[in-house]
Chains A and B, each alone.
Chain A
């Protein structure tokens, strides 16, 4: 079970991995995620988003950044290896219907979970504009896949090494001013989602964000992933991961995501020793 069938390195520490997961493949929908644990005894359970699936072969594709202990160990896995524990699909799927004009904004690795949503929105008959951004050209992922399912693609890099030199909020603002979308979907680092939500707020455009918070079980049992949405406490794992971006308390989310920073620095230091790839 969960045998790895393909591994690609997309950039310095971003990897794309495909593995067999028939059950998950059968049920998964856009917007859902997985919990992966490498070692049953002492490993950490971490949430990872689904980037794609192949129903014919019963495989799931994930894209992840090797930044923590588990993702670094994951990056060392090779084709033929097995992933010990994969749970999913988790979370409430994206609400897909024909909204009309939709802008999808992806930042960094956030483009990966955004891709299935772009695909589903396009298939539902929406006019999809995709804005994808990264710090530089090297870090930009999945451009071609996104382009294949979008009516229009705008690429931004922070350093201008590719596409336009801008933050994703700039083309998003222009879209709101010139050709107001019916809906916006944003996935990326919390700070980027926060500023995208602030960008669309004055225009009153419904803005969906997909949150990635600290989780243990991913099934509603621990509440570690809780986030404040419109003054109410919600669990990202079962109530989300998608919420109304205009209601999310991003500052609280960012603070909560930093809860274990010191522990992580300690363990990733240990982990980098022995990291061969990337």
Chain B
């Protein structure tokens, strides 16, 4: 452990932000390894020393699960990584995952006093990167400690889905001493963490380890079980002896654009493209039996993180050119700045204020060209974002062989369709009260199935709140 000098605020503000070591862009587009390699211990301590330990801790307000951020950052500053991770684990189950995929610049780091003083959110303390380091450090030590489990209550809780919301709900219900069974439709647990987020952004070994912690806690995970079809939701309570159910089935149904040519061969939802390449490992040619389309010129439609993931995956799978087409301007992109930056480094070409209007196919119904309509920035909308305004008659075409549609997901309607009493809103999201209970007693829901497509950490936060409500109900 190093000596900590008492630094003044001025001195702390003068410390340069640590640069995240990364794989060279031209190397990384030829492999699936993680892009960001992670800080060294020295870097973490230096980065942590930039934190001013503000009394009011504005960063914590930006965290959906209210991690004691100054607490873990200050422990990291003095090299007490064990204490640091312990502090995080009090509030978050998945630090190695959240340290990688949370949009910190829109959460904790957005409120960081350092970033505000330096007038640049990118110069805020790298909270996420410190979190990632201490989580990885802990794992490397083999310290994946299992939380204490209360005495068995004899109550049973079913968790539908195994994504972030479900993982946190399962852990908290199990900690309270209930028997917990998770139901997953796929052959592997983890939800979007395994089918959606690519290996180069979130190594699957990390997800597996977090899931194994649940198993070690005594949570049972039943794979290949689609609630709604393999068993009706209500039967879990009425027939199978569960006392409460948490539904965390996420936003899994891909939106399409309803444009001509969308069903041509070579047009994919980002979900399909990413599922083939992540969960089904289609990148491992010769080993994986699931095929992936052989592309040379790929157009990705959309401006979110999923669009970035799909574009960067296409590049890694051997596409010569990958073009991102987005209806608004660069500053309006919902994707994380870091992901856009990485994509640009990887030679992804961006076309702003353009939208795909039509996809044209050859004689074999395979994609050969896209037609784009052009937009300009119009009047600002209520949120101040300038509305894209169509420039009539102005079109362009680009030769393409693959189109990936990444314009968002909506909730999967299966549970609703097979559970008539369940109340949903006009977008198909399940309606819940303030304790995350649905219109059916003892059935709770949280995560994207309630709030629409959002982030891993928000889903986790809701999973925890729902679990707290379930535990309270079952304690009666």
Q: Which residues of A pack against B, CB within 8 Å?
A: 23-24, 27, 37, 39-45, 69-70, 84-90, 216-217, 219-224, 226-228, 233, 238, 249, 251-252, 255-256, 258-260, 262-264, 267
Contact = CB atoms under 8 A, between A and B. Distances in A.
A45 B271 contact: no
B361 to A, nearest CB: 8
B224 A43 contact: no
B230 A27 contact: yes
Pairs of residues from A and B, 5 with the lowest C-beta to C-beta distance, nearest first: A255-B365, A222-B272, A263-B291, A44-B289, A260-B291
Contacts of B185: 87, 217, 219
B263 A90 contact: no
A163 B111 CA distance: 79
Interface string B247-274: 0000011101010001111101101100
Interface stretch (B148-156, B280-288, B333-341, B350-358): B280-288
Contact of B284 (A42, A44, A238): A42
A258 B362 CA distance: 14
Contact of B265 (A44, A223, A256): A256
B271 A223 contact: yes
B276 interface: yes
B268 A224 contact: yes
B290 A23 contact: no
B394 interface: no
Interface in B217-238: 223-226, 229-232
Q: Which of A84, A228, A238 has the most CB of B within 10 A?
A: A238
Given A222-B275, A223-B272, A24 B263 contact: no
Given A84-B187, A221-B253, A42 B229 contact: no
7 contacts: A40-B188, A43-B289, A44-B280, A70-B289, A88-B229, A223-B271, A226-B256
Nearest to B187: A85
Contacts of B271: 221-223
Contacts of A89: 229-230
Contact of A27 (B195, B229, B253): B229
Interface residues of B, number: 45
B289 A69 contact: yes
Contacts of B275: 216-217, 221-222
Contacts of A45: 187, 280, 290
Interface string B289-306: 111011000000000000
Contacts of B252: 219-221
A40 B289 CA distance: 11
Nearest to A224: B272
A86 B224 contact: yes
Q: Which of B185, B252, B289 has the most CB of A within 10 A?
A: B289
Contacts of B229: 27, 88-90
A249 to B, nearest CB: 8
B77 to A, nearest CB: 41
B412 interface: yes
Contacts of B364: 255, 258
B126 interface: no
Given A44-B289, A87-B185, A263-B291, A220 B280 contact: no
A260 B366 CA distance: 11
Contacts of B293: 259-260
Q: Which of B253, B284, B293 has the most CB of A within 10 A?
A: B253
A217 B291 CA distance: 14
Nearest to A89: B229
Contacts of A87: 185, 187, 224-226, 230
Nearest to A91: B229
A238 B226 CA distance: 12
A215 to B, nearest CB: 10
Contacts of A86: 224
Nearest to A24: B230
A78 B412 CA distance: 37
B263 A226 contact: yes
A42 B263 contact: no
Contacts of A263: 291, 294
Contacts of A258: 265, 364
B413 interface: yes
A23 B272 contact: no
A37 B290 CA distance: 11
B269 A42 contact: no
A221 B226 CA distance: 12
Contacts of B280: 44-45, 216
Contacts of B224: 85-87
Nearest to A73: B289
Contacts of B266: 259
A147 to B, nearest CB: 31
B254 A222 contact: yes
B353 to A, nearest CB: 27
B398 interface: no
Given A39-B289, A220-B253, A221-B271, 13 more contacts: A27-B229, A44-B280, A44-B288, A219-B226, A219-B414, A222-B271, A223-B272, A233-B262, A233-B263, A252-B365, A255-B264, A255-B366, A256-B265
A216 B272 contact: yes
B137 interface: no
Contacts of B366: 255
B276 A264 contact: no
Nearest to A87: B224
A87 B414 CA distance: 15
A31 to B, nearest CB: 13
B186 interface: yes
Q: Which of B224, B269, B294, B364 has the most CB of A within 10 A?
A: B224
Q: Which of A86, A222, A224, A249 has the most CB of B within 10 A?
A: A222
